[in-house]
Structure 1
Amino acid sequence: MSLSVSTRGVELPEPVLAQLRQDDVAARLIRKDATLWGPDAESDAAVRLGWLDLPATSRSLVVQLAELRAELAAEGLDRVVLCGMGGSSLAPEVICRTAGVPLVVLDSTDPGQIAAALTDLERTVVVVSSKSGGTVETESQRRVFVASFAEAGLDEKEIGRRFVVVTDPGSPLAEIAAAMGARAIFLADPTVGGRYSALSAFGLVPSALAGADVAALVDEAEALAEGLADPGNAAMALGVALGCAFRTGRDKVALADTADTPIQGFGDWAEQLIAESTGKEGRGILPVVVGSPATPGAAAADVLLAVVGAQAPEQAPSVGVTGPLGAQFLAWEYAVAVAGRILGINPFDQPNVTESKENTRTILSAGFTDEPPVATVGAVEIRGTAAVLTDVDVSLHDGLSLVLDALLASVPPRGYLAVMAYLDRIRDAAAADVREALARRTEHPVTFGWGPRYLHSTGQYHKGGPQVGAFLQLTGVVTDDLLVPDQPYSFGTLQAAQAAGDRKALADRARPLLHLHLTDRRAGIRQLLEALC
């Protein structure tokens, strides 16, 4: 099945199209012309276009991974846990969900979610993926698995053989993996950025070990790659649709699946690709993951609807992308690179991602600032900035409803509302229903992200994109904390510091921010949803 792109009602200004043709963008991109995005982006682009080669270069991984999986199975190691963040975890999650094979994706610092992954250790192999090799979440997870294997009675050599590592050459993780005797170390191509790494070792290693057919993914991508130098190729059409929608006032894209598409959860991966690649220099395309084209928030005056797995629906303006998963990965990467040129930004950097990380380190070192709640309503403690709380009497019996109304009212014209939940995305999954409940009550797009996962995704857009966001942060009580081995803090403390660090980054930008802390997670989520009815 080949990839195809269709559009309905998307304005395609002829000057934009003519410039792309005149500049021979399709052919130059395939030649890895680093000058395509301007002089300021040239140094980044020169070392970030390796993803274009992956359909060919990743083929050598396929046989190696099949042999490794067979080796693990022979030892009874059939449960795969992936410790990774952002680009290291999102693609494997989509691949395995689509293939219908089990993969435990651990991209959280929530103690409950971490503890739940520390089960069935007798049949568990852990894939630790980090491009930089210094990601605090991933390193903390590695440490706790090492300690848990030791507690289960494994010696150092046996522990090392329970780990498979994917990282860049020369990273701290590469050195750690060698020292611990990891069963396998895959050194990825350093010219492939994290969010463009779906078809690299980062995407393929955990997926193959979990049982997905990664050879088919590579075949699908390679079939598409053969025509990408053609200016009329489907991936170029997608990039033009995204870029021209931005140029004509639709700077948000609603990412929807169709009921009959075999591809599962693609929007979560595309969200990171789009947000980190375009959200900078005060502009960008905001991805909004919705359940279906009929879901609240999929249509608005500044939104382009993008449907994966079907032709463009009648709900215009819209774009539809059909085709197999391997081709989808490559097509969207190519399209976002093209859209970056149309927007006039560098699609390969992420200048604001480290800010919240630095705030987190400061808080872990210096301690937390006392922030007493302005009110407690049932299981919900209320905090926030003056932009939300001023003129709201939160002491009233419906104080939670009033403060949510004030948050919705704080969204500026052409703005958006972002929900950020530092909770357990498995046991507290109902928190995600808050997005749709809020979207029913506003004409503005509403996004949802699990913390700290979103820090490696939409977190870049929140800080580097247009400053028109309002923010709802959800945190919850930790009843059973878990220490990070050989560190002076626990996972609960790390999670709280990450949430506080991001609140500071947003408050420093004077953005409207409401922080709701749930003293009883289940009751608090239920109370919040009831307040939004």
Structure 2
Amino acid sequence: MTGATASGDGPGVTVEFTEATAAAEAAAVAERLVGERVASRLADQDATLWGPEAEPEASIRLAWTGLHRGSRPLVGEIEAVRGEFHAEGVDRVVLAGMGGSSLAPEVITAAAGVPLVVLDTTDPAQVAEALSGDLSRTVLVVSSKSGSTVETDSHRRIFEAAFRANDIDPASRIVVVTDPGSPLESTARENGYRRVFLADPNVGGRYSALTAFGLVPAGLAGADIASLLAEAAAAAPALGADSPDNPALRLAAALGVAHSEGAEKVVFADNDSGFPGFADWAEQLIAESTGKEGTGLLPVAVENTSAPGFVDAGDDATTVVLGNPVETAALTVSGTLGGSLLLWEFATAFVGRLLGINPFDQPDVEAAKKAARALLDAPERAASGPEPLLRDGAVEVYAPGRWQPTDTGSLAAVVRSLLDETPPSGYLAVQAYLDREQDASASVLRPELARRSGAQTTFGWGPRFLHSTGQYHKGGHQNGVFLQLTGDNEQDLDVPGRPYTLGTLQLAQALGDGQVLADHGRPVLRVHLTDRAAGLAQLVAAIQETTP
């Protein structure tokens, strides 16, 4: 890169700055962190780094700094289980997990080019598609740190019933990953599931890429997890060093300086990094770790380096390219996958110190879960909701809070009303409670809306984003506006042993989160698709009618 300033690197990871001024400002902050011995103290799991209020939580959340060593015994155990399954003709891996239990395995297997079916959804059609695969060759990995994740528990129940219906013993096909003493461990022991892997309880979900949560599903699918750990081990000494060349210190300092100057977003674009989906993993790590107490960094994952929001990023955003450098990026981060996972974990923990927050709690995540549970306990509340503000073709439009559109004459007018509510340096969040596979065209909404709103625009599949950016939406900078997408289900799936279907759960999650956002005073618009394909096409056309 012409004019690039090398600003920090270690074995397997490199951080480069485009501008010399930004590199110098970050270097000054990094030097201060070096003087405070922040890197070595983190590597030694010093829980005092984030202040006395954070110390109780931090003291039980720092084991991730040594996972490149501590997780080595897992490699042989996972390979042995994989060998057993292959000897039985079982080679299709389905992962039921949310947030930290699914994002890392998805990146690891995508980078390795091995198949993994990921269920981080409550959409009935997407789950039905996973069920339609060859169950005679299928192992289900049920992964939940708390052991009580409602989506994952629903998947487990549905697959158990499907295995039985196909004369397959469910216990022989279910592998569990959870924390010691969780309800899921008890269920697994009682039911005699094939294998239970207990993860280190002193690691939070979003820092768990190199624990059993990341390694078991990826390893069973065929990824080289031994090499992944070796890559992390090669990078670890540089990341834990009190040195101005420490790439994690440089990266954290750059993000911290930019945030202090108003850049509260981090826009990610991939440029041949070789790690598809890495930005989605980093999104959860950064948003949940920093988005609280009215501050934080909002990750924005865009399509490529020429996408709206990246090439035209304003002063409220820092652009980061993953992989090969481009002139339009403020920072370039590259390296091995294992080294990169550890780099961003170290850097995010350092950013927490710079922002003065606890990077290991997630105080606002539970609010949406409680609201969804309340609707599940009283489903008539969701069924007897208000009349839509607008019915137009294959869409119905709702606004659940105090904010109401100024013009409901057309779908385009309603969308324009929402965009007009975006404050200066605010953001627009698109939340699609749809089928990530069949309704993938919904993702075109992000660049279309970014182009017309001029605001940084995120896109998240629901309820997956509730375990990711959902924390930032309620706890971070309160300058977001929200477009929810829900849709009718052509088919639904009962959840055995539960008084609701997947479709009921999916809608409850959308309505519950929408209400929590509205209670925070944020503008929320829900567009319900009575016909998903036709409704999406109609919404795209309406957005294109709005004036950029």
TM-score (norm 1): 0.96
Unmatched 5+ stretches in structure 1: none
Q: Are residue 176 (structure 1) and residue 178 (structure 2) matched?
A: no
Report what 2:494 is aligned to.
483
Report what 2:17 is aligned to.
7
In structure 1, give the amino acid aligned to 2:231: E
In structure 1, give the amino acid aligned to 2:16: S
1:388 is displaced (CA, Å) by: 5.4
Distance 1:203 1:519, change over 3 A: same
Counting only pairs closer than 5 Å after superposition, residues 236-315 of structure 1 correspond to structure 2 as: 236-258=249-271, 260-298=272-310, 299-311=313-325, 313-315=326-328
Unmatched 5+ stretches in structure 2: 1-10
Q: Give CA-to-partner distance per residue, 1:168-188, whole Å, 9 cap, x none.
A: 000000011111111111000
1:319 alignment partner, one of 306, 331, 334: 331
Counting only pairs closer than 5 Å after superposition, residues 353-392 of structure 1 correspond to structure 2 as: 353-367=365-379, 368-369=381-382, 370-385=385-400, 389-392=404-407
1:386 is displaced (CA, Å) by: 6.6
Counting only pairs closer than 5 Å after superposition, residues 115-130 of structure 1 correspond to structure 2 as: 115-119=128-132, 120-130=134-144
Report what 1:412 is aligned to.
423
1:150 alignment partner, one of 164, 175, 183: 164
Cα distance in 2 for partners of 1:15, 1:56 equals 32
Q: Give CA-to-partner distance per residue, 1:366-392, whole Å, 9 cap, x none.
A: 232412101111101011157653420
Aligned partner of residue 361 in structure 2, secondary structure: coil
Cα distance in 1 for partners of 2:403, 2:373 equals 28
1:265 is displaced (CA, Å) by: 1.1
Distance 1:501 1:18, change over 3 A: same
In structure 1, give the amino acid aligned to 2:280: D
Query: Does structure 1 retain, via aligned residues, the 8 Å contact 2:92–2:221?
Result: yes
* Worse-superposed segment, 455-464 or 241-250: 241-250
Q: Are residue 88 (structure 1) and residue 88 (structure 2) matched?
A: no
Cα distance in 1 for partners of 2:506, 2:264 equals 31
Cα distance in 1 for partners of 2:436, 2:390 equals 26
Aligned partner of residue 467 in structure 1, secondary structure: coil
1:261 is displaced (CA, Å) by: 2.4
1:14 is displaced (CA, Å) by: 6.9
Report what 1:19 is aligned to.
32
Aligned partner of residue 532 in structure 1, secondary structure: helix
Cα distance in 2 for partners of 1:2, 1:165 equals 32
1:2 is displaced (CA, Å) by: 1.9
Cα distance in 1 for partners of 2:77, 2:92 equals 19
Query: Does structure 1 retain, via aligned residues, the 8 Å contact 2:266–2:318?
Result: yes
1:214 alignment partner, one of 216, 220, 225: 225
Query: Does structure 1 retain, via aligned residues, the 8 Å contact 2:157–2:495?
Result: yes
Cα distance in 1 for partners of 2:129, 2:123 equals 10
In structure 2, give the amino acid aligned to 1:63: G
1:226 is displaced (CA, Å) by: 2.1
Report what 2:86 is aligned to.
73
1:434 alignment partner, one of 441, 445, 457: 445
Query: Does structure 1 retain, via aligned residues, the 8 Å contact 2:30–2:249?
Result: no
1:223 alignment partner, one of 213, 234, 256: 234
Cα distance in 2 for partners of 1:507, 1:308 equals 35
Cα distance in 1 for partners of 2:430, 2:109 equals 26
Q: Give CA-to-partner distance per residue, 1:399-455, whole Å, 9 cap, x none.
A: 111111111110011110000000010100101111111011122100000000000
1:16 is displaced (CA, Å) by: 3.4
1:310 is displaced (CA, Å) by: 2.3
Report what 1:422 is aligned to.
433
Aligned partner of residue 150 in structure 1, secondary structure: helix
1:509 alignment partner, one of 487, 506, 520: 520
1:28 is displaced (CA, Å) by: 1.1
Q: Give CA-to-partner distance per residue, 1:290-322, whole Å, 9 cap, x none.
A: 1222110112221101111123x3225x11111
Paired-residue identity, %: 54
In structure 2, give the amino acid aligned to 1:295: A
In structure 1, give the amino acid aligned to 2:397: I
2:70 alignment partner, one of 39, 57, 64: 57
Query: Does structure 2 retain, via aligned residues, the 8 Å contact 1:49–1:191?
Result: yes
Query: Does structure 2 retain, via aligned residues, the 8 Å contact 1:293–1:305?
Result: no
In structure 2, give the amino acid aligned to 1:464: G
Cα distance in 2 for partners of 1:502, 1:283 equals 20
Query: Does structure 2 retain, via aligned residues, the 8 Å contact 1:420–1:471?
Result: yes
Distance 1:13 1:326, change over 3 A: closer
Aligned partner of residue 306 in structure 1, secondary structure: strand
Cα distance in 1 for partners of 2:152, 2:347 equals 30
Cα distance in 1 for partners of 2:434, 2:87 equals 37
Aligned partner of residue 435 in structure 1, secondary structure: helix
TM-score (norm 2): 0.93
Q: Give CA-to-partner distance per residue, 1:117-142, whole Å, 9 cap, x none.
A: 11211110000000000000000100
